[in-house]
Amino acid sequence: MPMVKIKCPKTGRDVPTGIVMDLDTFQSVTFTNNSVSCPYCGEAHVWSKPDAFLE
């Protein structure tokens, strides 16, 4: 099943959020003010639905 990811604003690398879901669910769900610790730059990134994508 695909993983929801965001882009690290500092490195541009794909950051896994730990959330897995299918495309239909992803398109219907709302994400707001989620946070993920970035393994690449070490910072916590706050993200919402427009920042997320499936991979």
8, exposed or middle or buried, with CB in 10 Å at 0-12, 13-18, 19+?
Answer: middle
Distance CA 11, CA 30 (A): 26
Give 9-32 as a DSSP string.
TTT--EEEEEEE--HHHHHH----
**For residue 50, what are its two tokens?**
């427009």
pLDDT digit string, tens, across residues 3-52: 999 999 999 999 999 999 999 999 999 999 999 999 999 999 999 999 99
Residue 51 burial (CB count, 10 A): 16
pLDDT at 20: 98
Give the H/E segment covering residue 48.
Answer: none
Whether pTM > 0.85 for this model: the answer is yes
pLDDT at 5: 98
- The residues spanned by each domain of the chain are 3-54
